[in-house]
């Protein structure tokens, strides 16, 4: 590992440690810890929410729900439950998906989003992951083995919160084809991840 990568990995480990410490202080009802946690992760969670919900007012409300949940559930979190960032991103994404259920008027296609037909996902550039993401060369490698179509469908679903039907509409491919790309994409990902001990 080169020194630069090493220091990046170290800063991510420190970030994880800080999040763990803050969650345990939240579990002890320390409101200062929630404020610091908000400063650190709200911008990422808000980015997830706006991307899925596509309406700022709705995303702002959802962000409040997410931090209320984090505060109430901090005591249930432990490092054995995985990385704190994955836990918080999941809370945010699931909340957004739940809200989508009730919001039938969300436009299916917003022209300035990079997920429009044929567009390449942003930040395709290799190398540095943002500090909030744990480093994983293996995962990058395995994602790299997927076909472009598979990877694009997975991104449309995960990042954009799009359903099978949305993706079929967005990409102009039949529903059955989209479903099978996604299923096979996930399957290959798992096989690749588990091939390495």
Partner 1 sequence: MKPDNSELVDRLAAEYVLGTLRGPARRRFERWRANTLQVDQRCRYWEERLMHLAKGLKPVQPPAYVWPAIRKRLNLTPNRAPHRWTRRLALAASIVLVAGLAGLLYWRSLPAVRATASSIISTKSGTEMWEVKVFATTNRLVVQAAKLAARPAGHDYELWALPQGGNPVSLGVLPTEGTSSRVLTAAQKAALASSSQVAVSIEPAGGSPTGQPTGDIVFVAPLQASG
For the segment 34-53, give every residue that binds partner 1 (CB under 8 A): 34-35, 38, 42-44, 46-48, 50-51
Cα–Cα distance, 116 to 135 (Å, whole number): 28
Determine, following the binding rule CB under 8 A, whether residue 113 of this chain makes contact with partner 1.
no
Number of residues that bind partner 1 (CB under 8 A): 73
The DSSP secondary-structure symbol of 192 reads: H
Taking CA atoms, 3 is separated from 10, 56, 129, 146, in Å, by 10, 40, 15, 30
Determine, following the binding rule CB under 8 A, whether residue 25 of this chain makes contact with partner 1.
yes
The DSSP secondary-structure symbol of 135 reads: P
**Near partner 1 by CB under 8 A, which window of 4-12, 103-111, 168-176, 189-197?**
189-197
Which positions from 44 through 103 interact with partner 1, judged by CB under 8 A? 44, 46-48, 50-51, 60, 63-64, 67-68, 71, 74-75, 77-83, 85-87, 89-90, 93, 97, 101
Determine, following the binding rule CB under 8 A, whether residue 11 of this chain makes contact with partner 1.
no
The SS3 of residue 118 is coil
Which positions from 131 through 150 interact with partner 1, judged by CB under 8 A? 133-134, 136, 139-140, 143
CB of 111 to partner 1, least distance (A): 18
CB of 7 to partner 1, least distance (A): 19
Cα–Cα distance, 39 to 21 (Å, whole number): 15
CB of 3 to partner 1, least distance (A): 22
Taking CA atoms, 49 is separated from 42, 61, 152, 187, in Å, by 10, 10, 19, 27
Determine, following the binding rule CB under 8 A, whether residue 13 of this chain makes contact with partner 1.
no
Q: Which two tokens stand for residue 21?
A: 């410490």
Q: 182: which residues sit within 8 A by CB, 6+ positions away?
A: 150, 153, 154, 157, 164, 167
Cα–Cα distance, 82 to 135 (Å, whole number): 14
Determine, following the binding rule CB under 8 A, whether residue 115 of this chain makes contact with partner 1.
no
Determine, following the binding rule CB under 8 A, whether residue 16 of this chain makes contact with partner 1.
no
């Amino acid at each position: 590992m080169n020194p630069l990568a090493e220091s990046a990995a170290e800063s991510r480990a420190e970030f994880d440690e800080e999040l763990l410490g803050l969650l345990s202080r939240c579990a002890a009802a320390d409101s200062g810890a929630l404020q610091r946690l908000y400063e650190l992760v709200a911008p990422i969670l808000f980015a997830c929410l706006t991307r899925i919900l596509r309406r700022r007012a709705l995303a702002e409300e959802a962000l409040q729900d997410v931090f209320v949940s984090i505060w109430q559930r901090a005591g249930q979190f432990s490092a054995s439950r995985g990385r704190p960032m994955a836990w918080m991103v999941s809370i945010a994404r699931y909340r957004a998906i739940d809200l989508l259920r009730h919001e039938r008027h969300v436009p299916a296609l917003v022209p300035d989003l990079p997920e429009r037909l044929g567009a390449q996902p942003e930040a395709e550039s290799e190398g540095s992951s943002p500090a909030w993401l744990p480093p994983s060369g293996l995962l990058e490698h395995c994602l790299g083995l997927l076909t472009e179509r598979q990877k694009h469908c997975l991104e449309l679903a995960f990042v954009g919160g799009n359903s099978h039907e949305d993706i079929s509409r967005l990409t102009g491919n039949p529903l059955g084809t989209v479903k099978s790309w996604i299923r096979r994409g996930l399957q290959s990902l798992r096989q690749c991840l588990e091939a390495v001990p």
